[in-house]
């Protein structure tokens, strides 16, 4: 049995969709089975036979985490450790999801899995602590680092842009942070393949779409492509580029956090779709609704 933790979020809901599509039995939980409480997890899993645990649950509000450090660490570090402890007890394989925000972004080349980490924000620090907790508890694990994630299930940049572009006359977006968007369905498909193949070497893997962009160029593409598909009115907000210093978000973010996907692509013998193609597919899926 597969236990999918965080099954209603951006990523979890896409994994759930794939598992349902293929009739693979799984149990999915959200925050009502709180990963910060070890005894709750023990009680929930007592009558289950777990082979895989996929932990998509996290405290993901990057700015709010700056003022909510305790809860961010509780979910992202203690929660990750608790998932690893349960995996160890069951002899189950753990797939734990992490983030490009474990890096400081002081580079201009795509980051490999063994690039040095140096998170800038509370969120990044708590996720890095979660990675360490998983590595302390388990000899064998999968840590999948993704970036700029979006999908149907949760709050994310694409859905926010689709909303604010309708509501406001002017939207300012940061133009000096580079990264790669990740459509949750593409990342879910990679996780699904790891489970299906059953013999993928353990370790840390980076996974996002291919290519790179800035938040501003990403927003322009969302506006243009959503406009073509009728998801936005003909006349909507003007996008204005600004620097991260001008934008002054509560949390500091890496200036460059493009992940190298070479390892996951070589291991699974796949290529990751280009971020723009995947964005178009995602917007099409919204039109189908």
Q: Return the active site residues.
A: 123
Give the whole-angstrom CA distance, residue 116 versus residue 109.
Answer: 13
When CB distances to ligand NAP are compared, the closest residue is 9
Give the whole-angstrom CA distance, residue 220 versus residue 153.
Answer: 22
CB of 222 to ligand NAP, least distance (A): 14
Please answer whether residues 98 and 125 qualify as being in contact, where contact means their C-beta atoms are separated by less than 8 angstroms.
Answer: no
CB of 215 to ligand NAP, least distance (A): 11
Please answer whether residues 192 and 54 qualify as being in contact, where contact means their C-beta atoms are separated by less than 8 angstroms.
Answer: no
If the CB atoms of residues 106 and 155 are measured against ligand NAP, the closer one turns out to be 155
If the CB atoms of residues 191 and 200 are measured against ligand NAP, the closer one turns out to be 191
Distance of CA 189 to the CA centre of its chain: 13
**Chain contacts with ligand NAP (rule: CB under 6 A):** 6-12, 30-31, 33-36, 56-58, 60, 75, 79, 97, 99, 127, 146-149, 153-154, 156
The H or E element containing residue 94 is strand 93-99
Please answer whether residues 119 and 99 qualify as being in contact, where contact means their C-beta atoms are separated by less than 8 angstroms.
Answer: no
CB of 20 to ligand NAP, least distance (A): 16
Give the whole-angstrom CA distance, residue 217 versus residue 221.
Answer: 6
By three-state DSSP, how is residue 208 classified?
Answer: coil
If the CB atoms of residues 81 and 127 are measured against ligand NAP, the closer one turns out to be 127
If the CB atoms of residues 83 and 236 are measured against ligand NAP, the closer one turns out to be 83
If the CB atoms of residues 9 and 254 are measured against ligand NAP, the closer one turns out to be 9
Residue corresponding to tokens 């598992």: 19
The H or E element containing residue 174 is strand 170-174
Distance of CA 91 to the CA centre of its chain: 25
The H or E element containing residue 26 is strand 26-29
CB of 172 to ligand NAP, least distance (A): 19
Give the whole-angstrom CA distance, residue 171 versus residue 288.
Answer: 27
CB of 207 to ligand NAP, least distance (A): 10
């Amino acid at each position: 049995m597969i236990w999918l933790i965080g099954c209603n979020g951006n990523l979890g809901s896409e994994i759930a969709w794939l598992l349902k599509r293929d009739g693979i039995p799984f149990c999915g939980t959200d925050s009502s089975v709180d990963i910060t409480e070890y005894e709750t997890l023990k009680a929930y899993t007592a009558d289950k036979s777990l082979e895989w645990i996929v932990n998509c649950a996290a405290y993901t509000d990057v700015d709010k985490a700056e003022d909510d450090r305790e809860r961010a660490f509780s979910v992202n570090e203690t929660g990750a450790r608790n998932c690893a402890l349960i995996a160890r007890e069951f002899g189950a394989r753990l797939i734990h999801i992490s983030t490009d925000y474990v890096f400081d972004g002081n580079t201009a080349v795509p980051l490999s899995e063994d690039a040095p980490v140096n998170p800038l924000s509370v969120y990044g620090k708590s996720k890095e602590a979660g990675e360490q907790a998983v590595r302390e508890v388990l000899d064998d694990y999968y840590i999948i680092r993704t970036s700029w994630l979006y999908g149907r299930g949760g709050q994310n940049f694409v859905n926010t842009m689709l909303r604010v572009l309708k509501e406001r006359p002017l939207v300012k977006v940061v133009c000096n942070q580079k990264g790669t968007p990740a459509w949750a369905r593409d990342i879910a498909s990679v996780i699904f393949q790891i489970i299906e193949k059953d013999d993928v070497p353990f370790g840390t893997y980076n996974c996002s779409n291919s290519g790179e962009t800035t938040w501003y160029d990403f927003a322009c593409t969302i506006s243009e492509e959503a406009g073509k598909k009728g998801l936005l009115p003909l006349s909507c907000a003007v996008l204005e580029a600004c620097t991260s210093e001008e934008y002054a978000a509560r949390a500091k973010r890496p200036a460059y956090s493009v992940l190298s996907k070479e390892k996951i692509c070589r291991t699974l013998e796949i290529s990751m779709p280009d971020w723009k193609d995947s964005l178009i597919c995602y917007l099409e899926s919204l039109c189908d609704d």
